[in-house]
Structure 1
């Protein structure tokens, strides 16, 4: 008998795509997709069960289908489509995870748990290290938004791992996921016609392509290969970094620098146009950035992304279409302004 895999959050594009991918693996016998609403996309040959993970019924689903592998993807920063709100998302992230883990604890057939988390658990602060490893404590814990949800989710997962040491638990801390179908607060930000930035700051950012997300989830869900270990906590990101200014150029979008004291007002304005999770944590990210080490991803988990951070962003930018300005023209304009500013400072010194 092959594996019986249950995947949460399948009404979202990323969850539905993973369901279609994992059922093609020869180690997998059945796939059960779970979400509170029916997906608008097809799930291949997977079984769909309409169930809210915030409710105890999820325990019955695990028992009825003799699930041995749970892939928890219903941890996200954005509502599904036009439904829901920030409070509903938080309930699903935190309360839903608690209920799911409680059900897994009582299900003796469960042998493996994979949880989609985020590098946002490290926060973003002015005195952060240049690079975070999986064991680096954050200088300042996230105080709100999806980042705080992710911190709470990981705390409950650690508690579950202590209570069920027989279960292999793998937490994947993804950098910002980008691609044609990606959904996140940062995707919403990059979709704005003009990008507000924090005056005087140009943060470093990392991305991971949604294709690589599919592959690393598949690796974490199956039996480890010789010399690898797919349990533990792993940072997942493409090689390299991009500055926020570079992303704006590649999108062909102008930026509007905002003084730091006025950033809160800017966040309120962005929420008014539908960016439900433009929280203080998002503002800190656009101020200080965040970069993580991925050695454990390669050496322990045995996964190497196909896409670098720059290649990931390039594919995302192509899917968004042209911006207000051609990227080449915008890049030349920014460079000219930088040269002009440098020349002005030189004249002032002389």
Structure 2
């Protein structure tokens, strides 16, 4: 008998990609795809079940299909369709609580994989240069998706204590990018002109959507072969990019904004429905965030196909040319830097 894998959040592009990918694995017998709304994309041979994980019905789905592996991907920072922030938070937090309660009562469950985010570390001026999985945040997120993820991880740890017979893996993904990315940061990079925080050039990490799918498959299936430990893992491509470097690669100009005015600008962009320029994203674009991925390699045995720079390049290529040719923009910046006095750094 192969695995019976239940996947939440399949109406989103990333959930659909994972469903189509995991059902090709020889160890997988059936895939049960769950979401509150029918997906607009193809799910292959997966069986779609329309169910809201915030409701008790999810327990019946687990029991009816004798599910042994749950991949919880319905933890997101963006609303689906016309839903707002309230619906997102309820799905993230209440939905996770309901799902874990159902898993706790399901005797067939043997494996739980949860999609989380490196946003749980926050972004603060006194952050360490690199976060490891054991480091607490210097300043806990006060709201938004990051706070949701902190609460979700807390509930998952409680579940792991109550069901020690279930292997639990929490995957903290860096900013997800790729041709089909629908994340808040992808919306930010889609702006014709990028607002930045005056005086800051944060370090950013990215993970390609293909690598997200691949590591989720690995986490969901390898436990059966006894090669994967439970735990929490940072998932990111090698290297970092400065925000200024991302702008040059996109061929887009930047507009530095004084920090006190950034919050106002973010509210204006949200009101206009242009992008979800949340407080947590403003902090990321001010202080940045970098995580260590040693556990990803040594324990999970996963090596990303794309580096941070390559993931961003694939994303940028899919969005077409910006207002300025990237090569010409980079050349102009380099010429300007070369023209500055050698001791300019002493006066900054």
**TM, length-normalised to structure 1:** 0.96
Q: Which residue of 2 aligns with 1:8?
A: 8
1:190 aligns with 2:189: yes
The answer on whether the counterparts of 1:4 and 1:30 sit within 8 Å (CA) in structure 2 is yes
The answer on whether the counterparts of 2:113 and 2:168 sit within 8 Å (CA) in structure 1 is yes
Distance 1:219 1:230 in 2: 12
Q: Which residue of 2 aligns with 1:296?
A: 295
1:343 aligns with 2:336: no
The answer on whether the counterparts of 1:77 and 1:277 sit within 8 Å (CA) in structure 2 is no
Q: Which moved more, 1:135-144 or 1:228-237?
A: 228-237
Cα displacement (A) at 1:168: 0.3
Q: Any idea what SS the aligned residue of 2:141 has?
A: coil
Cα displacement (A) at 1:83: 1.9
The answer on whether the counterparts of 1:220 and 1:230 sit within 8 Å (CA) in structure 2 is no
| Aligned 1:133-152 pairs, distance under 5 A | 133-152=132-151
1:241 aligns with 2:217: no
Cα displacement (A) at 1:223: 3.0
Q: Any idea what SS the aligned residue of 1:223 has?
A: helix
Unpaired runs of 5+ residues, structure 1, are none
The answer on whether the counterparts of 2:37 and 2:50 sit within 8 Å (CA) in structure 1 is yes
Distance 1:338 1:188 in 2: 30
Q: Which residue of 2 aligns with 1:109?
A: 108
Q: Which residue of 1 aligns with 2:69?
A: 69
Cα displacement (A) at 1:211: 0.7
The answer on whether the counterparts of 1:5 and 1:31 sit within 8 Å (CA) in structure 2 is yes
The answer on whether the counterparts of 1:144 and 1:279 sit within 8 Å (CA) in structure 2 is no
Cα displacement (A) at 1:343: 3.1
Q: Which moved more, 1:228-237 or 1:142-151?
A: 228-237
Q: Which residue of 1 aligns with 2:121?
A: 122
Q: Any idea what SS the aligned residue of 1:267 has?
A: helix
**Distance change (3 Å), C-alpha of 1:312 and 1:225:** farther
1:205 aligns with 2:196: no
Cα displacement (A) at 1:261: 1.4
RMSD, aligned CA: 1.6
Q: Which moved more, 1:188-197 or 1:330-339?
A: 330-339
Q: What do the CA deviations read for 1:90-138 (whole angstroms, capped 9, x no partner)?
A: 1111111011001101111111000000000000000000000000111
Q: Any idea what SS the aligned residue of 1:99 has?
A: helix
Q: Which moved more, 1:210-219 or 1:264-273?
A: 264-273
Q: What do the CA deviations read for 1:270-327 (whole angstroms, capped 9, x no partner)?
A: 2123256422111110000000000000001110001100000000000111111111
Q: Which residue of 2 aligns with 1:24?
A: 24
The answer on whether the counterparts of 2:111 and 2:223 sit within 8 Å (CA) in structure 1 is no
Distance 1:231 1:198 in 2: 39
Aligned residue pair count: 346
Unpaired runs of 5+ residues, structure 2, are none
Distance 2:152 2:258 in 1: 33
Distance 2:65 2:45 in 1: 15
Q: Which residue of 1 aligns with 2:45?
A: 45
The answer on whether the counterparts of 2:187 and 2:275 sit within 8 Å (CA) in structure 1 is no
**TM, length-normalised to structure 2:** 0.96
